[in-house]
Structure 1
Amino acid sequence: MDNFIVSARKYRPITFDSVVGQGHITGTLKNAIHNNQLAQAFLFCGPRGVGKTTCARILAKTINCERMTERVEACGTCDSCKSFQNGNSFSIHELDAASNNSVDDIRSLIEQVRIPPQSGKYKIYIIDEVHMLSQAAFNAFLKTLEEPPSYAIFILATTEKHKILPTILSRCQIFDFNRIKVEDMAQHLAAIAQKEGISYENDGLHIIAQKADGGLRDALSMFDQIVSFSNKNISYQSVIDNLNILDYDYYFQLLDRIAAEDAAQALLIFDKVLNNGFDGGHFISGLASHIRNLLVSKEPATLKLLEVSDNIKRKYLEQSQALGSGLLLSALNIANQCEINYKISKNQRLQVELALLKMCHVSAAILLSQQGNFVPSASTEQKKKRPEESLVSAEPSSANVAVAKAAMPIISAPTVVSEKLRATPLPVGPNIANEVGEAPQTNTAKRGWGKVSSSIDVPNLNTIFEEKAREESEENDLVQGNAYNEVTLNTFLSKWNSYAEGLKKTTRVTLYTIMTSSTPRLNGTTIEVDVENAVQMDELKVGKIDILNYLRVELNNFAIDLQGVQVEMTKVRKPYTSQEKYQAMLSKNPALETLRKAFNLGLS
């Protein structure tokens, strides 16, 4: 049995034209050779497995070839090419800087550079992983790299260019290798499969190329592994089974369930994913990528951004047309927030399940936000109820409220929904501020809930219905008329006190106290009443309509309005301790301090 050679070695490019996905590099090098404009030092940078060392070897072999072709490629038949292919060339030297990184290794290299080539025109030194050289080795190498002999060419390769000294970088022509595109990699794998007589599916090769993350060497290693696993029959299913990759079908099914608001099936799909051995964090990350691909598929111009096979691309296109952009953007925001919180959560599964439940309620929240008729009626009796009781009795039903609350985190997403929310109120519960998370709160105070402060002036979702209903109710309940007689202060105070006296016979003692504790001010047609606290302010607002209806008729002026002004009350505290009593006496007679000092008196 012959020794097996891995595909990464067996199909390693030997000409510039056979290099995959680096046309900008190979084209430049071929032109430099053709025009005889070779630099003294090259630096090849880029991630692993993209062809840095391969291009360095091709360049070294080509510039020493005795019979170069018209396409500026090595012939492969001359003595120089054969000796290089056999590994016994005296003109091309490779050095691994990872294991030869000392200053002594570089000094030995410098001594070799002084010897002219025994065959060929150039003496080429390929130094791989050059960033591993020590500081002293770089300094020792600096002078030789700047002014080498005419026959010496250095080709440096590295994956970490930022670790190389700027003085070294300034003496090299720098070539940045790109990650190889998924499509180019899949085509290269298909060509190898045809040469080896291996049956394959394009979807499976695309999955290998995506998993390789731009490195062709990684892709070829996975290709060999799957060939052995599938017995030379590379299918989509064999690839995802061997590489432990989440199937696209999971995400396509999940998005269908989310669009149908089927939370139960969505949770079952996630449970199936966990039972197959996949991590929840990997699942939510893949879901975010899937939703991103659906958004990309919305426009034909961005469809080319999908690095998937044509068959999968068609599936994305079909599902994206069936789902709205608002739903996708909101779901993507929820998935992104879940991915951020996943690692720090103690119950990670719950994090993902909560995100899926929110996604399933996004459609309901969008529908509610687009309907502007869910404003609960507010009567005088409802105003006196607690906020919790008012929300229970208001339309829409509590079930719809729960749906809207569950989906509220989407409102922070940059969607059409967030813009409509400013003009259209949503039915929400009292704890919506905690459930929204990043949604800003306002500094508007709601009765019984305390004050919530914020630097952003946005509508208060907690009171949006109550305030709107209250304003509409006040406009409807106030008496209207066309009379606007001039009102004098004495006449106004007479009617004001008359109404206040009438309150004595009722149970509205608090309102009577407010009206009689301080003299109201008449500012044009606006009555200003001082109140001491928020409780009195609320009581004044409740009695405002009855007061105005009485005064407008009695004074024959229907433009009169009432406004409460909360003032800071300074309460004088009765002295209790000896020190406080002395200070009170001292404030009335400062001479007491002189008397105390004269007789050296103390406070008992």
Structure 2
Amino acid sequence: MTTAMSDSFDLGEPPQPAAKADVAYRVLARKYRPQTFSELIGQDAMVQTLGNAIKRDRLAHAFLMTGVRGVGKTSTARLIAKALNCIGPDGQGGPTIDPCGVCEPCRAIAEGRHIDVIEMDAASHTGVDDVREIIDASRYSAVTARFKIYIIDEVHMLSKNAFNALLKTLEEPPAHVKFLFATTEVNKVPVTVLSRCQRFDLRRISAEQLAKHFAWVSTEEGVVAEPEALMLIARAAEGSARDGLSILDQAIAHAGLEGGGVTADAVRQMLGLSDRGAVRDLLGLILAGDGAGALASLRRQYDYGVDPLSVLRSLLETVHGITLTKVGTPADAAQPAEERAAREEWAANLSYPALHRLWQLFLKGHDEVAKAVLPIEAAEMALLRTIYASTLPDPGELARQLAGSPAPAAPAAASTQAPAPAPASSGEAPPWAGAGASAPPAPVDTGPILPPTFAALVDLLDDSGGLAIAARLRHGARIVSYAPPEFALSGSRPVSADTLAELGTLLKSVTRTAWKVSIVDAPGEPTLREAQDAADEAVKQAILESPIMKAAVAAFPDAKLESWPGQRSNA
């Protein structure tokens, strides 16, 4: 009977026990949290300061770490706790900047279970009662560690009363107690607390350092990642290692199991970034004056899910990069070759005033899109404004028009096909090239400009930007003879050699001919300002002598003639 029952329930070989329980996945930001100071990237100055303090036994009783999110504030606090309590593999070691990581205090602190290292989140423990618990417990010696350490994260969240309760203990804590504070908003921490702490401002981590770190993490994870993709992630992280590792974690998941790895295109798509090639095409259309093409390009990116604000930001980054290229800044090694080539070509064809104008227009458009109820429509209007601003005359053209010389011919109608910067060999500059571009300008009259009178010459210098020289001539120069391109000034009003040299250079630049300016021993005519004042006075006297004015003065004896039609400015 028993045997039969046993046979009826025989299901084959008994199941084998599981060899190993599944381990929960840890995100990269936690898995690769720095365990030693050598793994803490971008904070070399702070590490050196701490190392010297430990070696010289000049340890402060309170440390304050401040900086943006993800730069290592809490990690640094834990590393300091390990450094102060490490006893070495043999149990005989002392405080060190290179904790061993294998002794019981190091392992317990790394795992967050050390009884003498107390972490508190000030965001959820803001009251004076929470601080009173710390004060009461700090009186007792450490149980097993060398120092009892309190790590208070986001310390700026403590209430005013809590800060006040902590002040006395913070200023004169027991010898076995260390306070480690971390905050992202140090301006909210009372000055009375700051003055009692040794402060470390943790810097944003550079994109290059982050990209290098992410490359190492990718290798450790067995993931193939394009350098450009890692640089995109590093830039999106904005100096935060934690943010960057979170994005990298997402990018690895986005890549899937196909084995393609993390690509730049996938990262752009994942982050909603504007494609660099599309941005170059869009900027080329804008510079070519193709409004319809630019709007179509913007709409294509918008349909792909790209935020209009991201497009304006990418255009600003591109203009900034072109300007850096123009001033000779070395190119980014991680930048694609086609991006470098496009920027170099644009830098050769665009003048500094044109780049400045582009920057200002895109920046204004970016602000408008950020606040707009209809972002895509606001972006379109911003691009159209930028395109049509290219037809505005530059200061050089305005000066030529005021001087009476013909202005350069207007640029031809914009081509409807300008997906990239115009080839350098074409000999044509984009409408945005303006004055100073490398492409040859339209033909202009190159003959000399010889104003008929000395007053006309001074007005020309004034209109051409020589305001200081023109003012000196108008107020102090007495003309003796004027026969362009030569004139003589009276020596009764001394003129310095520097002024004469500056005047000669300006005259040659404005009139396109060399002038001979001499100083002679003769009284000369009144200055232009004196002549103007005399003319104004003559007109005033003529008005005062008129019958109507005499009748008005007779009726109102205190009346004065302050101004009259045609009076010149006294400026």
TM-score (norm 2): 0.64
Structure-2 separation of matches of 1:344 and 1:567: 58
* Alpha carbons of structure 1 residues 396 and 168: separation in structure 2 relative to 1, 3 Å: closer
Residue 271 (1) aligns with residue 299 (2)? yes
The SS at the match of 2:326 is: coil
Aligned to 1:390: none
Aligned to 2:361: 334
More moved, 160-169 vs 258-267: 258-267
CA contact (8 A) 2:218 2:224 kept: yes
Aligned-residue offset at 1:101: 1.5
Structure-2 separation of matches of 1:213 and 1:69: 37
More moved, 288-297 vs 201-210: 288-297
Aligned to 1:242: 270
Residue 221 (1) aligns with residue 246 (2)? yes
Structure-1 separation of matches of 2:384 and 2:138: 69
Q: Provide the identity percentage.
A: 34
Aligned to 1:78: 103
Residue 21 (1) aligns with residue 42 (2)? yes
The SS at the match of 2:187 is: helix
* Alpha carbons of structure 1 residues 529 and 141: separation in structure 2 relative to 1, 3 Å: closer
Which of 89, 95, 113 is matched with 2:138 structurally? Answer: 113
Which of 380, 387, 407 is matched with 1:353 structurally? Answer: 380
Aligned-residue offset at 1:333: 2.2
- Structure 1 residues 300-346: Cα deviation after superposition (integer angstroms, max 9, x where no partner): 3x336x69646576346434444312432222222223334445667
CA contact (8 A) 1:529 1:565 kept: no
- Structure 1 residues 180-205: Cα deviation after superposition (integer angstroms, max 9, x where no partner): 11111111110010011101101101
User: CA RMSD for the aligned pairs?
Assistant: 4.5
Residue 149 (1) aligns with residue 174 (2)? yes
Structure-1 separation of matches of 2:288 and 2:434: 23
The SS at the match of 1:127 is: strand
Letter in 2 for 1:43: L
- Structure 1 residues 28-58: Cα deviation after superposition (integer angstroms, max 9, x where no partner): 1122112111100000111111100001101
Query: What pairs with 1:17-416 in structure 2 (closer than 5 Å)?
Result: 17-67=38-88, 72-231=97-256, 233-300=261-328, 302-303=329-330, 309=335, 311=337, 314-315=340-341, 317-325=343-351, 326-342=353-369, 349=376, 351-360=378-387, 365=392
The SS at the match of 1:281 is: helix
* Alpha carbons of structure 1 residues 126 and 360: separation in structure 2 relative to 1, 3 Å: same
* Alpha carbons of structure 1 residues 312 and 95: separation in structure 2 relative to 1, 3 Å: farther
Structure-2 separation of matches of 1:376 and 1:203: 52
Aligned-residue offset at 1:223: 0.7
Structure-2 separation of matches of 1:276 and 1:566: 76
Q: Which has the larger radius of gyration?
A: 1
Structure-2 separation of matches of 1:292 and 1:214: 19
Query: What pairs with 1:441-452 in structure 2 (closer than 5 Å)?
Result: none
Aligned-residue offset at 1:240: 0.6
- Structure 1 residues 426-449: Cα deviation after superposition (integer angstroms, max 9, x where no partner): xxxxxxxxxxxxxxxxxxxxxxxx
Letter in 1 for 2:214: L
Which structure features the higher share of helix residues? Answer: 1
Aligned-residue offset at 1:364: 5.5
Aligned-residue offset at 1:287: 1.4
Structure 2, gaps ≥5 residues long: 1-21, 415-430, 438-443, 446-461, 465-530, 549-554, 556-571
Structure-2 separation of matches of 1:53 and 1:312: 41
Letter in 2 for 1:247: D
CA contact (8 A) 1:259 1:323 kept: no
- Structure 1 residues 85-142: Cα deviation after superposition (integer angstroms, max 9, x where no partner): 3433222111111111211111111111111112232111111111111111111111
Letter in 1 for 2:173: P
Structure-1 separation of matches of 2:182 and 2:285: 50
The SS at the match of 1:167 is: helix
Aligned-residue offset at 1:281: 3.4
Aligned-residue offset at 1:267: 2.2
The SS at the match of 1:153 is: strand
CA contact (8 A) 2:86 2:94 kept: no
Structure-1 separation of matches of 2:95 and 2:240: 31
* Alpha carbons of structure 1 residues 263 and 97: separation in structure 2 relative to 1, 3 Å: same
CA contact (8 A) 1:183 1:307 kept: no
The SS at the match of 2:42 is: coil
Structure-2 separation of matches of 1:458 and 1:368: 10
CA contact (8 A) 2:127 2:159 kept: yes
Structure-1 separation of matches of 2:62 and 2:333: 36
Aligned to 2:29: 8
* Alpha carbons of structure 1 residues 69 and 159: separation in structure 2 relative to 1, 3 Å: same
* Alpha carbons of structure 1 residues 205 and 106: separation in structure 2 relative to 1, 3 Å: same
Structure-2 separation of matches of 1:43 and 1:259: 50
* Alpha carbons of structure 1 residues 371 and 47: separation in structure 2 relative to 1, 3 Å: closer
* Alpha carbons of structure 1 residues 296 and 112: separation in structure 2 relative to 1, 3 Å: same
Structure-1 separation of matches of 2:333 and 2:403: 50
Letter in 2 for 1:224: D
Structure 1, gaps ≥5 residues long: 379-393, 404-410, 418-423, 426-456, 460-524, 531-562, 573-586, 588-604
* Alpha carbons of structure 1 residues 270 and 564: separation in structure 2 relative to 1, 3 Å: farther
Query: What pairs with 1:432-443 in structure 2 (closer than 5 Å)?
Result: none
More moved, 230-239 vs 342-351: 342-351
Letter in 1 for 2:302: L
* Alpha carbons of structure 1 residues 107 and 319: separation in structure 2 relative to 1, 3 Å: same
Letter in 2 for 1:356: L
Structure-1 separation of matches of 2:141 and 2:403: 94
Letter in 2 for 1:30: G
The SS at the match of 1:200 is: coil
Structure-2 separation of matches of 1:48 and 1:277: 28
Structure-1 separation of matches of 2:398 and 2:298: 32
- Which structure has more relative contact order (CA 8 Å, sep 6+)? It is 2
Aligned to 1:556: none
TM-score (norm 1): 0.60
Structure-2 separation of matches of 1:298 and 1:226: 34
CA contact (8 A) 1:182 1:206 kept: yes
Structure-2 separation of matches of 1:338 and 1:114: 60
The SS at the match of 1:42 is: strand
